[in-house]
Amino acid sequence: MIAVDFDGVVTSPHALKSQEFQIRGYDISEQQTDRNYCLNVRNIEKADYEAVSHAVNVARLDQVPIRNKAAAGLQQLVDEGLYPVLVTSRHDEEIPPMLRYVRKHRLPVSEYLNTGRDPKIDAAKTLGARIIVDDSLSKLERFLEEEDGEWTLIFFQNKANSYVESVPERVHVVDGWDALVTCILQES
């Protein structure tokens, strides 16, 4: 079982998030749209950040590009007998647009798990996932704090997390879906 984050790993929402921030009067580039960066470095109000995310996740999700080779990469994992599950942190009203997106792009996943605002580590335990893919380093670092977990942690690099300079030794770093699939196949 592989837990694959949706936003930022399967999709590339950064340009639209930047546009939504600009509509609200913030000068935020695509490279600055990461949640932790917005809240902790740029000191954007949490309500404003969530309003931008909601706008992209609901009203504009159909405009969000799918990452290059994401669908093919997911299919390759399925063909290898692996079971990727989309794991996302969304409000309930954001789920139907995500499912439409999955159907539109014919993503070969038969299951998803919405954590709401609960930690993804709980979702991974529920799923029995051993490989965790996320573009949020802080979410992956929570797995490192668990003493009983034997997870393979994969940090998916993208525009919004390019500010990350160092990654814990136990975390694999990949740039793109080809590298992600290779890493998963080596670790499974």
Task: Give the model confidence (pLDDT) of 39-87 as tens digits.
Answer: 999 999 999 999 999 999 989 999 999 999 999 999 999 999 999 999 9
Regarding whether 43 and 128 lie in a shared domain, the answer is no
The total domain count for the chain is 2
Please tell me the distance from the alpha carbon of residue 56 to that of residue 20, in angstroms, as a whole number: 8
Please tell me the distance from the alpha carbon of residue 45 to that of residue 43, in angstroms, as a whole number: 6
Regarding whether 87 and 6 lie in a shared domain, the answer is yes
Regarding whether 177 and 90 lie in a shared domain, the answer is yes
Regarding whether 158 and 77 lie in a shared domain, the answer is yes
CATH of the domain at 183: 3.40.50.1000
Identify the pLDDT of residue 147.
Answer: 65
Fill in the amino acid letter for 39: L
Report the 3 state secondary structure along the chain: CEEEECCCCCECCHHHHHHHHHHCCCCCCHHHCCHHHHHHHCCCCHHHHHHHHHHHHHHCHHHCCECCCHHHHHHHHHHCCCCEEEEECCCHHHHHHHHHHHHHCCCCCCCEEECCCCCHHHHHHHHCCCEEEECCHHHHHHHHCCCCCCCEEEEECCHHHCCCCCCCCCEEEECCHHHHHHHHHHHC
- Give the structural domain span for 31: 14-63
Regarding whether 130 and 38 lie in a shared domain, the answer is no
Place of tokens 């799923």: 127
Regarding whether 6 and 88 lie in a shared domain, the answer is yes
Regarding whether 36 and 125 lie in a shared domain, the answer is no
Regarding whether 89 and 47 lie in a shared domain, the answer is no
Regarding whether 114 and 78 lie in a shared domain, the answer is yes
Query: Which among 40, 63, 86 is the end of a domain?
Result: 63
Query: Which residues of the chain have a pLDDT value below 70?
Result: 147-148
Regarding whether 165 and 116 lie in a shared domain, the answer is yes
Regarding whether 179 and 149 lie in a shared domain, the answer is yes
Regarding whether 29 and 6 lie in a shared domain, the answer is no
Identify the pLDDT of residue 146.
Answer: 81
